[in-house]
């Protein structure tokens, strides 16, 4: 008879806490994402040999960008996050998808899904996002990507930094999202031109 009583006491003790605990903040009405300025249009299949395909690895990011929140920098050492702004996924994941689509649109080269392990393209792109957010004092968004290209049969690796800066009129999430989308598309286009046809 004691066990049921103990269980009821534990349940009664937990009930007052149920209304106090929140495991995550309330999400904003809309999530922010990226979209290609020139998206890949529906149409016939794009065919390419393995040596013309491009593997785009999942991108890494600096620790401050390892979140769905929108980074705001305030000088060289202070960071915060934009109130009311939340990405649909982490910025590195969204940017990787944008770069992959932009490469196909601008170069005509196939970018296979990285989960298709049987396909091993000769050209491989990897990289890290080192800036993807709002520069508070500068009243602008900044996207900076450090890319690396490795090619089968070559004993050298190419590395290059890409960056774009777009001014913003306010710190409203919709305004910041549109500016970041513009800057991200600019960087993605520069990366695609670097990959080449």
- Could you report the per-residue pLDDT of 67-122, keeping only the tens digit for each? 999 999 987 778 899 999 999 999 999 999 999 999 999 998 888 877 765 667 78
8/68 Cα distance (integer angstroms): 40
Neighbours of 149 (CB within 10 A): 20
Per-domain boundaries in the chain: 49-195
36/187 Cα distance (integer angstroms): 11
- Could you report the per-residue pLDDT of 15-44, keeping only the tens digit for each? 444 444 434 456 677 899 999 998 887 876
| Domain made up of 49-195: CATH architecture | 3-Layer(aba) Sandwich (3.40)
Is 142 within 8 Å of 131 (Cβ atoms)? Answer: yes
For residue 138, give the 3-state DSSP assignment: coil
pLDDT given at position 25: 57
Task: Give residues with Cβ within 8 angstroms of 122, minimum separation 6.
Answer: 50, 51, 52, 53, 151, 152, 153
58/55 Cα distance (integer angstroms): 10
8 membership: H or E segment, kind and range:
helix 2-18
- Higher pLDDT: 152 or 64? It is 64
Across 57-75, average pLDDT:
94
Task: Give residues with Cβ within 8 angstroms of 67, minimum separation 6.
Answer: 81, 90
Cα 10 to chain centroid distance, Å, stands at 44
pLDDT given at position 11: 44
For residue 162, give the 3-state DSSP assignment: strand
pLDDT given at position 49: 62
Across 182-188, average pLDDT:
98
Is 147 within 8 Å of 160 (Cβ atoms)? Answer: yes
Neighbours of 109 (CB within 10 A): 19
Neighbours of 106 (CB within 10 A): 17
Q: pTM of this prediction?
A: 0.82
- Higher pLDDT: 107 or 10? It is 107
């Amino acid at each position: 008879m004691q066990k049921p009583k103990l269980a009821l006491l534990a349940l009664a003790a937990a009930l007052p806490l149920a209304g106090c605990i929140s495991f995550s903040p309330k999400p904003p009405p809309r999530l922010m994402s990226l979209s290609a300025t020139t998206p890949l249009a529906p149409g016939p299949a794009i065919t390419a040999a393995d040596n013309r395909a491009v593997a785009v690895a999942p991108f890494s990011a600096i620790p401050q960008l390892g979140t769905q929140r929108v980074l705001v920098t305030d000088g060289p050492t202070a960071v915060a996050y934009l109130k009311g702004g939340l990405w649909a996924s982490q910025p590195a994941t969204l940017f990787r998808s944008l770069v992959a689509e932009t490469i196909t649109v601008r170069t005509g080269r196939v970018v296979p899904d990285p989960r298709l392990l049987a396909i091993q393209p000769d050209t491989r792109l990897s990289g890290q996002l080192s800036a993807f957010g709002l520069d508070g004092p500068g009243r602008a968004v900044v996207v900076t990507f450090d890319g690396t290209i490795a090619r089968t049969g070559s004993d050298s690796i190419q590395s290059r930094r890409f960056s774009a800066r777009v001014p913003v009129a306010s710190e409203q999430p919709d305004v910041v999202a549109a500016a970041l989308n513009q800057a991200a598309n600019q960087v993605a286009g520069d990366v695609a031109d670097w990959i080449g046809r």
